[in-house]
């Protein structure tokens, strides 16, 4: 029986280890998704620069339309000028036309400014693309590392499952049956390692009578509080 309990405890440790590996395998894809989202969100620096260029283009078109409108105005003035009778009226249109022509020059200057701005903005887009590529490369490397880590843990899981199978084959069938039925009820924690005289899982102090029976008889003892199979290394105790 003592021998059986040792293997049962080894089986519990193996199941604990498998649970940890499974948790890692479950967690890695979640972390990869987070990294991907973070990486993609950084690409909006490029989108912002592109939007600026688009706005610049629209502003230029608006200014060009302004010039067309002013030219129309000037053409109308010139038509009206043909019909004037007084010198005063003539002078009035002439002044209006000069004013509007100066206006055109001012708007043309604004267009040139916008063109210079657009060169800068295009430079900004290139910079943003280079910057984003650097960021994306770093994220992609992290994702790649995580994928190989995932691969490693999947292999590890397969290997440890084989080891578990071997362990189970060595456990006394009756013990194994008890272990399996408790496994679901006790959330995978069936065997409790006894530290001095405390249950390793629920931490309650074990009655001396049960403790001595556990040590002397090696019978299957259950924690009176949490219902788990108690395990104590007999050799250590004999030495102590």
Q: Please report, as ranges, the residues that interact with Zn ion according to CB under 5 A.
A: 199, 201-202, 223, 225-226
Least distance (Å) from Zn ion to the CB of residue 2? Answer: 20
Nearer to Zn ion, 18 or 202 (CB): 202
Q: How far is the CB of 140 from Zn ion (least distance, A)?
A: 48
Contact predicate 59/110, CB 8 Å: no
Long-range contacts for 159-166 (Cβ within 8 Å, ≥24 apart)? 160/14, 160/17, 160/18, 160/21, 161/18, 163/14, 164/11, 164/14, 164/15, 164/18
Phi-psi region of 206 (alpha: psi -120 to 50; beta: other; left: phi over 0): beta
Nearest to Zn ion of 167, 201 (CB atom): 201
Nearer to Zn ion, 21 or 223 (CB): 223
CA distance 222 to 160: 28
Min dist CB 211 to Zn ion, Å, is 12
Contact 230, 206 (CB under 8 A): yes
The smaller minimum CB distance to Zn ion, of residues 98 and 195, is found at 195
* Total residue count of the chain as it appears in this document: 240
Specify the 3-state DSSP secondary structure of 230: strand
Select 182 or 223, whichever has its Cβ closest to Zn ion. Answer: 223
Joined together, the tokens standing for residue 184 give 């679901």
Smaller CB separation from Zn ion, 81 or 202: 202
Residues in Cβ contact with 147 at an 8 Å cutoff, skipping those fewer than 6 apart? 28, 32
Q: How far is the CB of 164 from Zn ion (least distance, A)?
A: 24
Least separation, in Å, of the C-beta of 231 and Zn ion? Answer: 11
* φ and ψ of 19, to 5 deg: -60, -40
CB of 199 to Zn ion, least distance (A): 3
Cβ atoms of 198 and 205 within 8 Å: the answer is yes
How far apart are CB 38 and Zn ion at their closest, in Å? Answer: 43
Could you tell me which residues come within 8 angstroms of residue 66 by beta carbon, excluding any fewer than 6 positions away?
A: 107
C-beta closer to Zn ion: residue 67 or 226: 226
């Amino acid at each position: 029986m003592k021998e059986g309990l040792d293997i049962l405890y080894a089986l519990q440790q193996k199941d604990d280890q498998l649970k940890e590996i499974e948790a890692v395998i479950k967690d890695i894809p979640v972390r990869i998704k987070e990294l991907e989202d973070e990486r993609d969100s950084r690409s909006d620096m490029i989108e912002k620069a592109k939007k600026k260029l688009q706005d610049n283009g629209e502003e230029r078109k608006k200014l060009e339309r302004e010039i067309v409108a002013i030219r129309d105005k000037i053409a109308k003035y010139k038509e009206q000028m043909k019909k004037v009778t007084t010198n005063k009226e003539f002078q009035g249109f002439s002044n209006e036309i000069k004013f509007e022509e100066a206006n055109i020059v001012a708007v043309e200057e604004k267009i040139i400014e916008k063109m210079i701005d657009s060169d800068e903005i295009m430079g900004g887009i290139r910079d943003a693309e280079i910057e984003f590529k650097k960021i994306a490369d770093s994220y992609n490397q992290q994702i790649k590392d995580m994928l190989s880590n995932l691969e490693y843990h999947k292999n590890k899981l397969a290997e440890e499952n084989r080891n578990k199978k071997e362990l189970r084959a060595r456990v006394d069938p009756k013990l194994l049956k008890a272990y399996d039925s408790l496994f679901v009820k006790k959330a995978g924690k069936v065997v409790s390692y006894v530290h001095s005289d405390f249950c390793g899982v629920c931490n309650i102090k074990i009655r001396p009578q049960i403790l001595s029976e556990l040590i002397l008889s090696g019978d299957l003892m259950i924690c009176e509080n949490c219902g788990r199979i108690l395990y104590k290394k007999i050799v250590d105790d004999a030495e102590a």
